[in-house]
Amino acid sequence: MQDAVEGPSRDGFFFYPLYRTSEDREGTGQGNDRPQILPNGRSHNWRLDYAPAAASGRGRIVVTLDKKTTVLDLREGHRPAGARFNRFGIITTWIDGNGQHIYFDDLTYTASQE
């Protein structure tokens, strides 16, 4: 389970949820309502939540950046196909030649068993 940071750097970088299963199936947050990180050096508050029982038991990933939320429901069959949500990450653009510097501070982590 990851957050992605990518997009046209002149307009800011999109921030959205995505995941990939062990069988290389994936789901990606889509739409023009995804939050953006503008290239202005400001700090942001973000949150990543996973609710395994949501979306009729398929699972749901919710990403919030500065009070703007993007929801990604797992696709049918992806969770039982090997999606283990045992870590999180931030992934930046893969193809773009521009780079980003992302710093983390004051992180809080919580977990609970179903």
Coil vs helix vs strand at 16 = strand
* Residue 12 and residue 36 in contact, taking contact as beta carbons nearer than 8 Å: yes
Three-state SS string across 96-111, please? CCCCCCCCCCCCCCCC
pLDDT band of residue 56 (cuts 50, 70, 90) is: very high
Residue with tokens 């990450």: 89
How much is the pLDDT for 80?
Answer: 77
What is the arithmetic mean of pLDDT over 23-52?
79
For residue 67, is pLDDT > 70? yes
Q: Which residue type occupies 2? A: Q
**18/74 Cα distance (integer angstroms):** 9
What is the arithmetic mean of pLDDT over 38-53?
85
